[in-house]
Chain A
């Protein structure tokens, strides 16, 4: 069952709600940077936004942007978020720890449940369809995507929004810093090649994709399939890719590029390098976390990158991690892993 990515929208540390990053990327050196905020008033009226934390506003704005011009009814909204609205979660937690267990603000608690994001989007779009939320670390979005794809397979859906939403607060940045998630110094682009130290740099991502059964003029690309794996060995990865290529009706040599989640952390990057060397030694490798930073929602941008490369028929040089055969991209794999435990691989075709 073919599924098409009709549109995509993002709010991140690149220019918001546009694809400028594809042609004019902003390269950051800070190890922590918060998203560029759009003018939210266009997407949500201030009275109903008054209780929303930043992440909820971003989630709504990116969802509405992805739907722009679409009037079709939506069958499902599925969200991936590693931590949910941690800004409001922290507010409630700190109030409780510092002021005691009395007179605590309910709005902050209400926003602390991860599903507040997906259900708020449904509320604003008046969508009574399937609604689910995944919170599985660095593969939260990949899990959400799988849910939608399998329901397309089962014939249960003909349209769906798939969303990724994570924010990184100052406090949470410090916590993750304590356990080695981040580099200790400013980030230079050369760190992404032959990473010699652990740690990445932090970003924030809100991304929304509209998926539909039928190809239209505006379709960005086709999604042939996706496989989730836990601690796969090379054989399991080969099996998964075989299955995807079969679904796409192509062979190994037809793969024009592989999007990998290189993030400048040695043990993370080694996993991609080893797999690519074994499976696709001559194929162009594409990276994106140097533009969007690392977060539990970052992998969503890997799909965005692949979709836009397919739509525009090129891989801009700033996204090329390792140059392989020169071809106009027609088939791109998106590979993502979290701590070499949870893995996901998907095939996208033009």
Chain B
């Protein structure tokens, strides 16, 4: 799992163009999205980032989401994302 988390962090940095960030800067348990509330710690991603994460899961792990709203729970943190991927990956 820790290897998957590390890979995922790198893939997220690349897919979302998080320039200047390294995997160590991302806490796998922190919120990826803050729903526009800057007081919530985390990356502060938005709805387009969510779509990019869906593309990432399809391209890299063969997981296809039908609806953007399905991503809500999956993309809570890098850890929840890794857990979902490990259970559902087809590649």
Contacts and interface: CB of A to CB of B under 8 A. Distances in A.
B51 interface: yes
A325 interface: no
A110 interface: yes
A53 to B, nearest CB: 10
B67 to A, nearest CB: 14
A324 to B, nearest CB: 51
Interface in A80-107: 102-107
Contact of B18 (A50, A105, A107): A50
A107 B52 contact: yes
A106 B16 contact: no
A87 to B, nearest CB: 13
Interface residues of B, number: 12
A59 B20 CA distance: 22
Contacts of A47: 44
Nearest to B50: A106
B55 A51 contact: no
B11 interface: no
B59 A103 contact: yes
Contacts of B17: 50-51
B44 A106 contact: no
Interface residues of A, number: 11
Interface of A: 46-47, 50-51, 102-107, 110
A272 to B, nearest CB: 43
B48 interface: yes
Nearest to B16: A50
B6 interface: no
A110 B52 CA distance: 12
Given A50-B19, A103-B55, A103-B58, 4 more contacts: A47-B44, A103-B59, A106-B48, A110-B48
A46 B44 CA distance: 13
